[in-house]
Chains A and B, each alone.
Chain A
Amino acid sequence: MEQPLEALALPTAQPSRPLRRLPTMPLAWLGVVPFFVFALMFLLLPTLFLIAGAFQDPDGHFTLQNLRDLLAPNIISAYWISIEISAASALGGAFFGALLAAAVVLNGLPGWLRPTLMTFSGVASNFAGLPLAFAFLATLGRMGLVTVLLSSLLGFNLYRTGFNILSFWGLTITYLYFQIPLMVLILTPALDGLKKEWREASQTLGATPWQYWRMIAFPVLWPSLLGTTLLLFANSFGAVATAYGLTGSTLNIVTILLYAQIRGDVLHNQNLGYALALGMIVITGLSNVAYIVLRTRSERWLK
């Protein structure tokens, strides 16, 4: 009797049975333990503490009064000034930072310039707080070096133009010192992601350089540009030491108001301070979420 073809087939190798392994904790997890401990102790727990405090009165009872107090004119004004300064420094930082990054990435400047700018940006983006405030007082303050030099060498009195380092624009310019480098650092990889072949392909298809930028490069960069600007906004919104060191309490921004509420002076109302912090968390959280969404979109395109 004839055998079916299947019966003549050579035996095939059996797939090996996977070895049963005991669940083990990879050693690499040990390396990230300090991060999780740090995040838990100095981010998550304090945030939860703040949120809980925002809904309590000094005696620990539940209340919504702290949130209602956020609508007081002086607090609304503080939030508004903070938002204005953050928006101004974010837009300024984004504009000048984008120009700087584009100049070193796209325009064939000498090779040494890029690593030099990156190193400087790495340092400058982290130079904030009291040292930065005093650095600007020492240069652009009433008796600052630049102010005096402008006056003595060029006869130009900076302060007669209405400029004041202790003002809204003074603080905005000071913030730009770390906002511009931060923009450079974050936008450079996005600019690197613009492939030369896209420009060349558009050219062979008849596009002008302007059409290339309008139809390809800007739409590709747009999520990164917008996202990074939002990150700069959040970065500026949360700054306190620079503002306090520079203006003391003359400029009523929300971080200084919050500081006043919890440090124990006449304005002392710790729970209102928690509510102020909760408002800040919401605003910076929203801008960070928008940043992440936009960043994800641009990375999807650029991968």
Chain B
Amino acid sequence: MTFLVLDGLQKIYGTHQVVQRFDLSVERGEFISFLGSSGCGKTTTLRMVAGFETPTVGTIRVDGRDVTQLAPNQRKVGMVFQSYALFPNMTVAQNVAFGLKVAGKSPAEIKTRVGEMLELIKLPKLADRYPYQMSGGQQQRVALARAIATKPQILLLDEPLSALDAKIRVSLRDDIRTLQRELGITTIYVTHDQEEALSMSDRIVVMSEGRMEQVGTPFEIYNRPATRFVASFVGHLNLLKATVVAPSEGRITVNGQAIRTAAALNGVPVGAPLTLALRPEAIRIGASETGNRLDGTISDVAFLGAIVRIRVQVGDNRLSLDTFNNPGSPPPARGEAVHLGFSPEDLHSVSDA
């Protein structure tokens, strides 16, 4: 059942359109990520949902109710900020209790709920600490507990892990996802980190220059990018410049070498240039008899431990491919001629939009 609807949202500051026609329906309990680089409009959209920004055009409905003009304190949303934003004059317990106190809950009820929340974030012993006495990871856990203590309808997270170091980031993102699933709370998560978005979300909205580029599950976004931007922004990607030979059969050439796509290239004229996307992990060294084959020369080899990243020059196209480290066989050398094999199904035509 659709719970949150963003209907034709636009935000314009002066002559600058920050968000262009944003339409999205979110199911109850769904975890949605807004993914994009700085300035793409993802935070502005989140702030419109929170009520800190008013849409220039469009409406926001929560559970069927139009909340577009409601003040933030009337929307029943919980928000977690990149900078934690814990109230510095209050202890952990007082921070978590703040929303309950403002809502006029009884002291006994507040005490019970705060205890539950601190258990939930695994920090029951830090109730009397002040924010300045805690690490960034601990502060962000408390901020999360504070945001969900009031049982909000929607949880908004604005790059909550960006200020933390890598190890804490990974553990906290797992905790956030687990909590979100346990509580079944509808969540919007803003991030510029594709790994975060891919690992946590039910669906991802990839944004660029105020536009929604693609909405889909992490699997769809990664494996079937709809635009060149999505293809290049999410994961490592090889973009091949090709020329169409027989569109109905999906036959093309890359630097004079014939290969084919799995799907027909209907509507593309013969001889037209075409950009194809190919994930590094879809390429293997050594040509297969049934699949595509490209011949090239190794231009660079980077040993990354478990993974060996190899760059191969095929005419004026440069392809990256990843192979697992094999202790029994050293990686190939630079300048070595190689055959590259990949399946036609792994080739995706991408639009330049």
Binding site for B on A (CB under 8 A): 195, 197-198, 200-208, 211, 215-216, 219-220, 300-303
Contacts and interface: CB of A to CB of B under 8 A. Distances in A.
B81 A201 contact: yes
B1 to A, nearest CB: 24
> Is the contact region of chain A dominated by helix, strand, or loop, or is it mixed?
helix
Given A205-B99, A206-B99, A200 B83 contact: no
Given A204-B72, A215-B87, 20 more contacts: A200-B50, A200-B79, A200-B81, A200-B85, A202-B98, A204-B50, A205-B73, A205-B78, A205-B99, A205-B146, A205-B150, A206-B99, A206-B103, A206-B150, A207-B99, A215-B98, A216-B89, A216-B90, A301-B130, A301-B132
B73 A197 contact: no
A201 B145 CA distance: 13
B52 interface: yes
Given A215-B98, A300-B132, A301-B132, A198 B78 contact: no
A302 B89 CA distance: 9
Contact of B73 (A195, A208, A216): A208
A220 B73 CA distance: 21
Interface string B8-44: 0000000000000000000000000000000000000
Contacts of A303: 132
Q: Which interface class (under 10, 10 to 19, 20 to 34, 35 or more) fits B?
A: 20 to 34
Contacts of A203: 51-52, 71-73
Contact of A197 (B85, B147, B150): B85
Interface string B93-108: 0000011001100000
B88 interface: yes
A29 B96 CA distance: 48
Contacts, number: 72
Given A202-B98, A301-B89, A301-B132, A207 B83 contact: no
Contacts of A300: 132
20 contacts: A197-B85, A198-B87, A201-B81, A201-B146, A202-B87, A203-B72, A204-B72, A204-B77, A204-B78, A204-B147, A205-B73, A205-B150, A206-B103, A207-B102, A215-B87, A215-B98, A220-B87, A300-B132, A301-B89, A303-B132
Contacts of B152: 204
Contacts of A195: 83, 85
Q: Which of B78, B81, B130 has the most CB of A within 10 A?
A: B81
B73 A204 contact: yes
Contacts of B79: 200-201, 204
A205 B85 contact: no
A192 to B, nearest CB: 14
